[in-house]
């Protein structure tokens, strides 16, 4: 049996309990909850071993009994801050995955510090893996093979992350937009309309010149999220239909 990396063992409660010394005052859940509270209030920039230690009332060095480093703490936080996935009930695979993807996008927007902490790294913690399991389960009775189910679920998760990142950046300015003094999609479209050369960028220049982003914040609205989601779900549905008509073997 392979030895688990320390951070994985911590997230899954698989660390051997020490029987020596006094009973510990803290536990990992308390530390992580304090770190999440700081991140919710101040963003990830406010999370440090010192700030978390102050929040729980111990010296910073005392935290290392429960978490090996700040990076490990951030990894555990990124999993612990994830809510349970939606229940499927009687929903079809498509309706459930639509709800699943929307809920995925929405919890990322509710805790935008997750956008920089989560990234596109493979899931290792129990909460994020449960989301993946529920998506795979929804595809369980389809004609897709295991690899196709896995790729479909990760494509939808990636779409939720990408859309949440874009919406958050447009709503808050984002690093590059803020540095340029651009606030929102309309201002972004105006800047592009000014700088794009119609000879080099004919399609994009015409689109920005038409004011696509001026009136309604364009592609960050919910209708545009649904448009992209339907493209993915239509592709999954087409693949399921194609597999159903392929001869076995």
Residue 25 confidence (pLDDT):
74
- The CATH 1.10.10.60 domain(s) of the chain lie at 6-80
Query: What is the mean predicted confidence (pLDDT) over 112-137?
Result: 85
**Average pLDDT of the chain, as a whole number:** 87
- Residue 216 pLDDT greater than 70, yes or no: no
| Structure token digits, residue 87 | 């229940």
Can you list the alpha helix ranges (DSSP code H) found in the chain? 6-11, 28-42, 49-56, 70-80, 93-110, 113-118, 126-138, 146-172, 175-179, 184-195, 202-209, 222-244
CA distance linking residue 198 with residue 44, whole number of Å:
41
Using CA atoms, how far apart are residues 153 and 147, in angstroms rounded to an integer? Answer: 10
- Report whether pLDDT(249) > 60: no
Do residues 5 and 23 touch, judged by C-beta distance below 8 A? no
CA 62 distance to own-chain centroid: 30
How far apart are the C-alpha atoms of 45 and 152, rounded to whole Å?
33
What integer pLDDT is reported at residue 37 of this predicted model?
A: 97
Q: Is the pLDDT of residue 22 over 90?
A: no
Task: Select 93-172+216-244's CATH number: 1.10.510.10, 3.90.76.10, 3.40.1390.10, 1.10.357.10.
Answer: 1.10.357.10
CATH fourth-level superfamily of 6-80: Homeodomain-like (1.10.10.60)
């Amino acid at each position: 049996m392979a030895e688990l990396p320390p951070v994985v063992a911590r997230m899954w409660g698989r660390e051997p309990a020490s029987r020596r010394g006094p009973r510990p005052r803290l536990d990992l859940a308390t530390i992580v909850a304090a770190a999440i509270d700081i991140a919710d209030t101040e963003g990830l920039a406010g999370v440090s071993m010192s700030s978390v230690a102050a929040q729980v009332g111990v010296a910073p060095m005392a935290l290392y009994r429960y978490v090996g480093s700040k990076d490990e703490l951030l990894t555990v936080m990124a999993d612990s801050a994830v809510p349970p996935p939606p229940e499927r009930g009687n929903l079809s695979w498509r309706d459930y995955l639509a709800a699943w993807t929307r809920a995925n996008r929405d919890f990322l927007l509710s805790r935008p510090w997750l956008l920089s902490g989560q990234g596109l790294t493979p899931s290792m913690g129990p909460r994020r893996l449960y989301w993946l399991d529920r998506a795979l389960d929804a595809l369980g009775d389809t004609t897709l093979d295991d690899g196709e189910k896995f790729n479909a679920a990760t494509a939808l998760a990636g779409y939720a992350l990408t859309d949440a990142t874009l919406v958050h950046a447009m709503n808050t300015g984002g690093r590059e937009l803020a540095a340029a003094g651009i606030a929102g999609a309309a201002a972004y479209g105006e800047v592009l309309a000014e700088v794009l050369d119609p000879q080099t960028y004919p399609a994009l220049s015409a689109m920005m010149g038409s004011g696509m982003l001026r009136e309604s914040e364009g592609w960050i609205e919910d209708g545009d999220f649904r448009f992209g989601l339907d493209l993915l779900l239509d592709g999954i549905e087409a693949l399921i239909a194609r597999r159903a008509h392929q001869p076995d073997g």
